[in-house]
Amino acid sequence: MNTIELLLNHRSVRRYQNRAIPQEVLNRVLECGMRGPNTGNMQIYSVVVTQEPELKSRLAQLHFGQGASCAAYLTVCVDINRYHHWCRLRGCDEPYDNFLWLMSGTVDASICAQNICVAAEAEGLGCCYLGTVQYNTEKIAQLLDLPKGVVPVVCLSMGYPDEEPALSERLPLEGVVHYEKYHDYSDDDIEKVHEVREQFPFNQEMVRQNKTRNLAELFTAIRYPKTTNVSVSRDLLDFVKQAGFMNQ
């Protein structure tokens, strides 16, 4: 399968075989992650690979059971700790404990994670992004002994697939891509670009099971309601400040 086919056939894998990832395969996948573009080639990120069964089980609990059967969790973090340590050793300032570098590091960590995901699939592995890292950031950081200056932003479950899930729906290109300038959407545009999602059988079944009026209400009232968003945002901001960012 070539790269285009690999990307167009991406599936999030959530069930895995009871099979370890050979170290040479894992190393290749991680090297691919590290070859991704990043700000100033500074690589202000770190990857924590969790494979030890007991630690993996405890991490699974913090991800609400997601990926429990995986061979490894890969937690990708913004990391100014390592860079600031180097700066101190060289007698330099430590200027990266601010919002700019939290954003830059988050972008770079995300690129690293996506390179890892694509490389893993090319090696016959499956992955799933776990958004729950934002819901239990402080507890995950404590479990993984993350020092000040390190914030987990992405977690991947990884292993050899024990399922072949169907492709998820995606919006059409015209729903996402803007040429030359941003062209705001009319009501008709919104109806058209979201039709594929609203007609997708799995989404229709979720709307029925949750007794919501439509798919938008499923997201805004059940999956990601405002009260939860505000609460998690507050906790996440508090942790980021404790981690040494946002202080300037």
Torsion angle of C-alpha atoms 211, 215, 220, 225, degrees rounded to 10: 60
Check residue 1 and give its pLDDT.
79
Pairing of strands 45-50, 126-129: unpaired
Radius of gyration of the chain (CA): 20
Residue 217 lies in a domain: no
Task: List the CATH number of the domain containing 72.
Answer: 3.40.109.10
Query: pLDDT tens digits for 115-163?
Result: 999 999 999 999 999 999 999 999 999 999 999 999 999 999 999 999 9
Query: pLDDT tens digits for 28-50?
Result: 999 999 999 999 999 999 999 99
Residue 119 lies in a domain: yes
Residue 36 lies in a domain: yes
Residue 199 lies in a domain: no
Residue 206 lies in a domain: no
Residue 105 lies in a domain: yes
Residue 205 lies in a domain: no
Q: Residue type at 148?
A: K
Cβ burial, residue 199 (10 Å; 0-12/13-18/19+) = exposed
Domain count within the chain: 1
For residue 113, give both structure tokens.
């994670």
Share of the chain above pLDDT 90, in %: 98
**Domain of residue 70, residue span:** 3-166
The DSSP code sequence of 185-228 is: PPHHHHHHHTHHHHT-HHHHHHHHHHT-SSHHHIIIIIIS-HHH
Write down the H helix ranges in the chain.
Answer: 3-8, 23-34, 53-62, 81-89, 99-122, 137-143, 187-193, 195-198, 201-210, 215-217, 226-242
